[in-house]
Structure 1
Amino acid sequence: MKYYLGVDGGGSKTYVLIADELGRIVGKGRSGNGNHQVDREGARRNIREAVDMAMADAELTREQIAFACFGLAGADREADYRILRPMIAELGFARHDIHCDTIIAMRAGTDRPYGVVLICGSGTNSAGRSPAGESLQVGGFTYATGDFGGGGALAVEAFRAVIRAWDGREPQTALTPLVLAEMGYASVAEMFDDCLDRDRQPPLGLAKLLFEAAAGGDAAAIDILRRQGEELGKQASAVIRRLGMEQETFDVVMAGSILTRGQGDYVHAEIRRAVAAAAPNAAVKKLAVEPVVGALWMAYEADGPLPRQAYETLKDAAEFEAI
C-alpha cells in the first residue's frame, strides 16, 4: 500500500493529511503558523509538529510516504524557496515538492491538474498552472506593487466612504450607521477624531458590512464591491494570457472568505465577465474543500496519474471544519 502526504501551511494554521492509494485518510495533523515570512523558526517548528502528528496518527514512517506535497504561504519567489528547500528537506521525505499555497487551493477546487485560482480573504492573490505544468503568480504582495482589495483594503474603503459622505465629498451612504455600530461610536465626528488621535485603523470586520449595505442597494458599497471584482478579474485575465490558456477548458477557482462567504453577486459577476472575455471555455467556481486536499492530490500526481477512486473518496471525505 502506498501513502501520500499533503500540507497546507498558512499564516494562522498548518494542516496535514495522509491518505492511502485508495484515498482513505489515515493520518491528520494540525499546528500554528506555517508561513516563514511571518516567523521563520516558528514556521519550521509548526510544520514539523503538524507532520509528526499526522505521521503518528497514521502509524507510518517517513520511508512509507511515496510522495509529500507542501503548499506553503510565502512561497512566492526564488528568495523564498532558498529558505524553504532546506527547511522542508530537514523533514526527511525522500520525495517531496513545494508549491505556493495558491496552487494547492487551485488544485483543490477543480478535477483537473491545471487551472487558475483567485484568492480574496484578508488580502488578494492569484495564480495559475497550465496544462504543460508551468506555474505563475500575479499579485499577492502590496498595494504599491499593484494589488487592490482583500478584507483589509475593503475595510479601509468602507471607512473612507463614511468619512467622505460625512464631510460632503460623496452622497450619504447606508454604511454610516453600520460602521459606527461596528466600531462603537455615536457619531462620525467622534469616530474621525478618535481614530486620528489614537492612530486607530479600520478593523477587518468592516469588510462584511459592504455586503449588507449593498444588499439594500447602497451605491457606495456596490461600487466598492464591483471594483474588487474588476481587480480580481484583471488578475485572472493576466494569469490566463501569460500562461497562454485563452483557448483551454479549465476552472477558475475562487477562494478566501470574501469570495466564498460574501453575499450577493457584485464581486462574482465582474470576475465572470473578465474570465469570459479572456477564456470563453473557462468556468468560474467556488472552492468547496480545504486546500490541503489539493496538496494531497498533487502528491498523488507527482507519483503518477491521480486514481479516480482516490479523487472521489477524498472529495467526499474532505468537507471538514477542523483536522
Structure 2
Amino acid sequence: MDAGNSKTDVAFVGADGSVLASSRGPGFQPPKVGVEAALDILASTVGEALAKAGADGEGADSVEHVSACLANADLPVEEEELTAALHARGWGRTTEVRNDTFAILRAGVDEPRGVAVVCGAGINCVGMLPDGRTARFPAIGKLSGDWGGGAGLAEEALWFAARAEDGRGEPTALMSALPAHFGLDSMYALIEALHLGRIPSVRKHELSPVLFATSAQGDPVARALVHRLAEEVVALSRVALARLDLLDEEVPVLLGGSVLAARHPELDERVRALLATRAPKAVVDVVTAPPVLGAALLGLDHVGAPAEAGARLRAQYA
C-alpha cells in the first residue's frame, strides 16, 4: 500500500507479480486523527482490495507480507510504531512500514539502488542500496532544517508579496498574481480572506503553480525562490549520495512529487545543471509510475521473488 496525505492506493499482488485486485481510499493522517483512527480509515481500503481478490476475512491466512509506504512515517521510530500497529490488524503474516518516499524511489528503479527527492506538499529525500543500507532525513519541516515543498513555496510567495504591497519589501509581480488567482485585487484582500477563513488555508497550495508562472515571466523575486528550491533538491541529493558512497558511481537520482513531476522548465533545467556539477555521475530522471508500484516491489524484494515477478508487476503499471 501507498498511503499519502490525500489518498491511499492498495494493491493485492501475487507472488508472481500479478495484480489480483486494487482499491483507492482516503489519505493517511495520524497526526490529525490519531494512529488508530487513521488505521480504521485505511482498513476500509484494505478490506475492499481483499474482497475484490476473494480473500475477504482471511487476513493473514492469505497474505504473506504487508508492504506499507506511509506518509507521516518520517522517523525510524515512527516506522517501528506503525509497523507494530499495522501488524496488530492481522492483515498479513509479516509487516514492514516505510516512509512513502521509499515507494517513489523503488517505483523508479529496477533494483533498490539510488536516491529520490520528492517535492509535493513538503520535501523529502531518501537513498537505498540492495544490501539494505539507507540514507534519509527527518523531513518534518523547518524544525529539521527543511525548506521547500508546495506548501512552503506558497508561504514564501505570500510573504514576499505582502511585503511588496506594504512597502517593506522589494517589488514583485507576485503582489498582483497571487490575489488575482482567487479573483481578488490586492494582497490585503487575500490576507484578510485567508485569515478569516473565507478562503480555506488548504487552498494556499494552489499558489505554487502561480509562483512558477510568475518566475517564467521574468520576475526576479519569484525566480530566486525557484532557484533556491533547485539548490535544496541538489543539496539533498548530494548528501544522500555521499552517505551511501555513490558520488563516484553512475546512479539514478529520481525526482518525484507534484512539484518536481510537473517538470517546470526553469526548475528542471536548474536542478540538472547543478547536479551535473556537484554529482556529475548522477543519472537524473522523473518518476511517473504510481508509488503503489514501488511499495509492491519492496514487498516482492522482501519475500525474495524472482526478477520476472517484478518485471510482470511493472508491466501492469506501465
Aligned pairs for 1:33-48 (under 5 A) are 33-39=27-33, 40-48=35-43
Cα 1:63–1:99 shift into 2, 3 Å: same
Q: Distance in 2 between matches of 1:126 and 1:240?
A: 11
Shift of 1:146: 0.6
Structure 1 counterpart of 2:154, which letter?
A
Aligned pairs for 1:173-322 (under 5 A) are 173-191=172-190, 194=192, 198=196, 203-264=204-265, 266-308=266-308, 310-318=309-317
1:11 aligns with 2:5: yes
Does the aligned pair in 2 maintain the 1:69–1:299 contact within 8 Å? yes
Structure 1 counterpart of 2:283, which letter?
A
* Partner deviation per Cα, 1:22-52 (whole Å, 9 max, x = no partner): 4321111232232433331222112222222
Q: Distance in 1 between matches of 2:241 and 2:272?
A: 13
Structure 2 counterpart of 1:98, which letter?
V
Q: Which residue of 2 aligns with 1:31?
A: 25
Deviates more, 1:144-153 or 1:76-85: 76-85
Q: Which residue of 1 aligns with 2:129?
A: 130
* Partner deviation per Cα, 1:182-234 (whole Å, 9 max, x = no partner): 23322345445x36974886822111101211222222211111101101211
Q: Distance in 2 between matches of 1:287 and 1:236?
A: 15
Note the aligned Cα RMSD (angstroms): 2.4
* % identity of equivalent residues: 28
Cα 1:100–1:245 shift into 2, 3 Å: same
Q: Which residue of 2 aligns with 1:152?
A: 151
Shift of 1:73: 1.5
Cα 1:67–1:183 shift into 2, 3 Å: same
Cα 1:213–1:35 shift into 2, 3 Å: same
Q: Distance in 2 between matches of 1:312 and 1:153?
A: 37
Q: Which residue of 2 aligns with 1:73?
A: 71
Structure 2 counterpart of 1:85, which letter?
T
Q: Distance in 1 between matches of 2:73 and 2:120?
A: 18
Q: Which residue of 2 aligns with 1:3?
A: none
TM-score computed with the length of structure 1 as normaliser = 0.86
Structure 1 counterpart of 2:129, which letter?
S
Cα 1:59–1:106 shift into 2, 3 Å: same
Number of aligned residues:
310
Q: Which residue of 2 aligns with 1:53?
A: 48
TM-score computed with the length of structure 2 as normaliser = 0.87
Does the aligned pair in 2 maintain the 1:127–1:137 contact within 8 Å? yes
Structure 2 counterpart of 1:203, which letter?
K
DSSP-derived class of the 2:254 partner: strand
* Partner deviation per Cα, 1:82-105 (whole Å, 9 max, x = no partner): 421321212321133221111111
1:87 aligns with 2:85: yes
Shift of 1:13: 2.1
Deviates more, 1:73-82 or 1:108-117: 73-82
Does the aligned pair in 2 maintain the 1:34–1:42 contact within 8 Å? no
